[in-house]
Amino acid sequence: MSETPEKHVSKRGCLKSKRSRFLLAAVALIVIIAAVVPAVVVTSLRKKNNSMGPKAKVFVPLYVYPAPEAWSPLENVISAHPDVNFTVVINPGNGPGPNALPDANYTREIPKLTAYENVRLLGYVHTTYATRNVSSIRKDIQTYADWPTNSSNPNLAVRGIFFDETPQQYEPQTLKYLQGLTDFVKDLEGLGPNQFVSVVHNPGAVPDSRYLATADSTVVFEAAYNTFQERQGAKLFTDITDSNRTQLCAIVHSVPQEVEGKSLRSLVKEVRKVADEVYITHLSTDYYASFGNKWNEFVDLMAA
């Protein structure tokens, strides 16, 4: 009998120590979980929130008349963000305008922009869906190319051409027309060293993919916020996103005022996924004639 209690004790002791070891292990586990899980969750949340996806250039259809100070909102963000590249389209008169040089406001303001290394200026030329007379288009392009010599100012210059109103539907003669214009631009002296000269097309929507190679970049979206949401919902961009993102530009206007802060952040992130050049504005009329009230917020998100 004297042995039994001992056994009991020892058994109990054994049980007790098993139980306490289990408890200890459980407590340790809880402590580890409590310590590690929040850290993991917080880290992954932080990663998720901070990641804005691929970097993209700010694309600016600068159809703002350069009255004194009118381009300051652009100059301010350009100098504040030397790590962000800006592609800026100027349009003095539905193209370079009728004269050899644009007016004195333009000749004063353009060299200020081209002085920045993170700016690439493009001259606006319309093609009226590839129906415009090629000689008239060439004349416009040549006018831009002659600016530096005609003004004796090397900084009064563009580094490429933005062709507005290019077609979406494929036609063999249209491909030739567009390729011919691109060759003309690339061969011109006056637009700078060949490899730095850009050609941008604006069909405003995803064109036949055979046209993509005739430009350095193509505007595959130029429409309102609601339309972007619809096309995104319809996964319209997914086909081209992966292979050709660096050749794409997207312009989203008429963004509702309530899309700000976090929701503007996710919009910028979505558009950056689609295209390597991005413009987003809250203006819903004359989208490009001034800077919207969330212009700075947009550029900050492009820099993030």
- Per-residue binding string, ligand NAG, 108-147, x by CB under 6 A, is -------------------------x-x------------
Residue 228 φ then ψ, to 5°: -60, -45
User: For ligand NAG, which is the closer residue by CB, 135 or 285?
Assistant: 135
Cα gap 298→287, rounded to integer Å: 15
Cα gap 129→239, rounded to integer Å: 24
User: For ligand NAG, which is the closer residue by CB, 2 or 135?
Assistant: 135
Among 78, 85, 90, 302, binds ligand NAG (CB under 6 A): 85
- Which tokens in the block code for residue 82? 């030397």
Residue 67 interacting with ligand NAG (CB under 6 A): yes
Residue 173 interacting with ligand NAG (CB under 6 A): no
194, burial (CB in 10 Å: exposed 0-12, middle 13-18, buried 19+):
exposed
Rg (CA), the chain: 29
Residue 100 interacting with ligand NAG (CB under 6 A): yes
Residue 209 interacting with ligand NAG (CB under 6 A): yes
CA distances for 168 relative to 176, 213, 253, 301, angstroms: 14, 13, 21, 31
CA distances for 12 relative to 3, 19, 22, 26, 141, angstroms: 13, 10, 15, 20, 96
Among 105, 153, 179, 290, binds ligand NAG (CB under 6 A): 105
Q: Interacting stretch for ligand NAG, rule CB under 6 A, among 12-20, 102-110, 171-179, 218-226?
A: 102-110
User: For ligand NAG, which is the closer residue by CB, 85 or 281?
Assistant: 85
What does 247-281 look like in DSSP terms, one character per residue? GEEEEEE---TT--HHHHHHHHHHHHHH-SEEEE-
Size of the site for ligand NAG (CB under 6 A): 19
Among 7, 21, 55, 176, binds ligand NAG (CB under 6 A): 55
Residues that bind ligand NAG (CB under 6 A): 55, 57, 67, 85, 100, 103-105, 133, 135, 149-150, 209, 212-213, 240, 243-244, 247
